[in-house]
Amino acid sequence: MNRLNGKTAVITGGATGIGRAAAKRFIDEGAFVFIFGRRQEALDAAVAELGPNARAVMGSVSDEADLDRLYAAVKAERGTLDIVFANAGVGSQLKLGEITAKHIDETFDVNVKGTIFTVQKALPLMGEGGSIILTGSSAGTTGAPAFTAYSASKAAVRNLARTWAEDLKGTGIRVNVLSPGAIATELATEALGEDGLKAYGSMTAFQRMGAPAELGAAAAFLASSDSSFMTASEVAVDGGLAQL
């Protein structure tokens, strides 16, 4: 398929997991993709796999100067931008009674502030037909034990899409949320451990964890004109976790 032929995309958190899977799918469908992440080694490995239609920029979404460098690179090579997948996120467990200010700040700096500035700084390069995709989470709907800060941050991301759909009226730019649930990514493995992953997967209607490629396919739908009459929406790719 060539639904994204000639399009330019930015994917934050693009070196691994859902971001990398989405980058592969976008490129397979004709896009040119800039991946953005904090680890140069992981970025290099991703670009080596993704091929000549991928570029990597190292940085953190919590650092505005890093985002400025990202979009300067996009403008210099491509001129304009069609798709922003604000996918970078962090999450770790702390039970109520153990939560610290540092933990809250680290989570919200990436998941909320980082998402806001990823999108805001992209807008001067975007125009009619543009698609913004935010990574939410089933935890933003249901909550999750010991994930207070993460769950709250993802609930905030869901509301950003509603607010921005209003702000973007008349521009022709859409903004939607892609909300994974039990997906077997490096972040999930780090947060839950192998036993936790198995238990989490067993809670879905399919009795398994989802694959990053399944999220990549949904992201490609939201990036393409197939979703041209969708904005402020949430697409849950969670095996029914937050739906049943």
Positions annotated as catalytic residues are 150, 154
Instruction: Return the CA Rg of the chain.
Output: 17
Nearest 5°: CA angle at 24, between 87 and 50?
110
Give strand ranges (E) for the chain: 8-12, 32-37, 54-58, 83-86, 131-135, 174-180, 234-237
Sheet strand arrangement including 234-237: 54-58, 32-37, 8-12, 83-86, 131-135, 174-180, 234-237
The Cα 44–Cα 37 span in angstroms is 10
Q: Mapping DSSP to helix (H, G, I), strand (E, B) and coil, where does residue 179 land?
A: strand
Give the contacts of 18 (CB within 8 A, at least 6 positions apart).
87, 135, 180, 183, 185, 212, 215, 216, 219
